[in-house]
């Protein structure tokens, strides 16, 4: 009974803290501008299944895609076993599903989980080497210093520890079964952990029970702690990849969105629309702070896995400019989280004098973007850094009038000549004469 009470308190506290964090993130996402995305539902479900569940974009790099799939499958399928552990912890039982599923099927299922767990350990070790030993440029970027680098390593090490606890728990369980120890019912051989039983065959039954129970608690407490930590980590994409791909843009990636109010004014000026007599409310142009972005932009930021595929294909970044689409997404996430923290600490919060553009992302970064869409195309879960860059650039030029002189010259030429060059339209073809 003491064990059940302790488990209930642990489980309930983790649920409480996870729920509080989820509500915090959901509230922060809703701080963005409201936009309506509810078209083409069948296509959106298909897109989510392909991109989030099927990880279609990950297989643009097949070897890494296969390794990521093994971790992904291991994470989801092995957690079926967590359901049994939770029920055992609350009810005071041991392997509650064994009599329900039968020894043969239960043994097959458990050994399938062991094979997946071994694959997870191997892949995590490989990923640790890739991140910390191999000279892969996207894992050496300045924005991955400090916590982001530690975060990635903590997740990988935690997964290895959890899987090793799973093996150790099963190893001790197998020996206790062979000895006919009470509560340790026979459930067949263990394919992976069974190899290690000779290491503990000489232990006393009491020592084995303590060892098995200790690893049982480590395993379940680690998984619950992992679930809480994920809400503070880049690995939040495990959950947010699904809604993020459902709400992803389905139109052509190269299509840029104009402001509706400005488009209406232009159409009226060209005689393509009727003037209603009431000027459209334009509001402010673009985005200076995170709350000027849409809720979908903020969901993108929280969904970012910091994999760096966007930055690795960015032509501006590759030529040495400061722009990093990954950093843009991290900036947005950090800024909206800072705003959320400020609102929680002060119900009358009116701002802190800081902004996304200026305090997090610089003018130099957003002006370096070529709008080529390479970052959008590269993202495995269809995050759109370009949209955010264009919104900040729109604010910078149309509100803050901070366009470079060469850009102002181009704008003037576009307005007067219909082309970026300082020549009338009548002379455009002169270069071909003769």
User: 3-state class of 90 per DSSP?
Assistant: helix
Please state, rounded to an integer, the average pLDDT across all residues of the chain: 89
d(CA 207, CA 199): 13
Q: What's the residue count for the chain?
A: 434
Backbone φ, ψ for residue 142 (5° rounding):
-55, -35
Mean pLDDT lowest among 54-63, 79-88, 370-379: 79-88
**What Cα–Cα distance (Å) separates residue 321 from each residue in 239, 317, 369?**
33, 5, 9
Nearest of 212, 9, 184 to residue 1 by alpha carbon: 9
Backbone φ, ψ for residue 81 (5° rounding):
-65, -25
pLDDT of 359 higher than 80: yes
Q: Provide the β-strand partners of residue 294.
A: 33
Nearest of 430, 429, 314 to residue 370 by alpha carbon: 314
Q: How far apart are the first and last CA of the chain?
A: 97
Nearest of 28, 52, 78 to residue 241 by alpha carbon: 52
Backbone φ, ψ for residue 416 (5° rounding):
-90, -35
Looking from the CA of 111 toward its CB, the CA atoms found within 13 Å total 15
Q: What pLDDT score does 280 carry?
A: 52
Q: What pLDDT, in 10s, does the model give residues 238-252? A: 899 999 999 998 887
Q: What is the dihedral of CA 384, 389, 391, 392, to 10 degrees?
A: 150
Report CA 72 to chain centroid distance, whole Å.
13
- Return left, alpha or beta for 186; rule: phi > 0 is left, psi -120 to 50 is alpha, else beta: beta
Q: What pLDDT, in 10s, does the model give residues 368-413? A: 999 999 999 999 999 999 999 999 999 999 888 888 888 889 988 8
**What Cα–Cα distance (Å) separates residue 359 from each residue in 228, 295, 318, 331?**
29, 21, 24, 9
Highest mean pLDDT among 279-283, 302-306, 399-403: 302-306
**Which CATH architecture fits 260-273+283-412?**
Orthogonal Bundle (1.10)
d(CA 35, CA 296): 8
pLDDT of 79 higher than 80: no
pLDDT of 277 higher than 70: no
> Tokens 């950093």 map to which residue?
327
Interhelix angle 295-303/325-345, nearest 10 degrees = 110
Give residue limits of the domains in the chain.
2-30+61-237, 260-273+283-412
d(CA 239, CA 21): 13
Tell me how far apart the 2 most distant CA atoms of the chain are, in Å. 100
């Amino acid at each position: 009974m003491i064990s059940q009470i302790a488990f209930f308190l642990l489980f309930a506290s983790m649920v409480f803290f996870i729920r509080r964090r989820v509500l915090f993130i959901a509230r922060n996402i809703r701080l963005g501008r409201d936009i309506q995305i509810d078209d083409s539902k069948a296509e959106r479900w298909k897109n989510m299944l392909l991109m989030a569940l099927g990880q279609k974009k990950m297989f643009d790099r097949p070897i890494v895609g296969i390794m990521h799939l093994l971790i992904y499958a291991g994470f989801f399928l092995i957690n079926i076993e967590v359901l049994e552990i939770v029920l055992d912890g609350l009810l005071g039982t041991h392997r509650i599903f064994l009599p329900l599923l039968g020894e043969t099927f239960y043994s097959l299922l458990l050994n399938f989980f062991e094979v997946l767990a071994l694959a997870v350990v191997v892949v995590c070790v490989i990923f640790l080497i890739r991140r910390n030993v191999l000279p892969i440029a996207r894992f050496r970027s300045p924005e991955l210093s400090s916590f982001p680098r530690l975060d990635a390593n903590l997740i990988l090490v935690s997964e290895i520890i959890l899987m090793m606890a799973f093996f150790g728990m099963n190893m001790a369980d197998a020996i206790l079964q062979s000895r006919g120890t009470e509560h340790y019912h026979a459930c067949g051989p263990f394919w992976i952990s069974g190899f290690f039983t000779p290491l503990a065959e000489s232990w006393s039954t009491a020592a084995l029970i303590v060892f098995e129970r200790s690893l049982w608690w480590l395993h379940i407490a680690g998984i619950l702690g992992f679930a809480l930590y994920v809400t503070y980590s880049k690995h939040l994409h495990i959950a947010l990849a699904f809604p993020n791909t459902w709400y992803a843009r389905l139109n052509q990636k190269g299509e840029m969105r104009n402001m509706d109010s400005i488009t209406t004014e232009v159409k009226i000026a060209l005689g393509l629309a009727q003037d209603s007599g009431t000027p459209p409310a334009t509001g402010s142009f673009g985005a200076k702070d995170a709350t000027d972005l849409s809720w979908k932009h903020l969901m993108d930021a929280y969904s970012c896995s910091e994999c760096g595929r966007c930055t690795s294909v960015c032509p501006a970044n590759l030529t040495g400019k400061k722009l990093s689409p990954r950093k843009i997404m991290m900036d947005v996430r950090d800024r909206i989280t800072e705003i959320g923290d400020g609102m929680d600490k002060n119900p009358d919060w009116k701002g802190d004098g800081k902004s996304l553009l200026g305090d997090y992302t610089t003018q130099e970064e957003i002006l370096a973007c070529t709008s080529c869409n390479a970052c959008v195309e590269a993202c495995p879960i269809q995050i759109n850094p370009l949209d955010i860059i264009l919104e900040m650039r729109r604010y910078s030029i149309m509100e803050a009038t901070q366009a470079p002189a060469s850009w102002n010259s181009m704008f003037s030429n576009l307005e007067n000549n219909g082309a970026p060059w300082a020549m009338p339209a009548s002379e455009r073809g002169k270069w071909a004469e003769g």
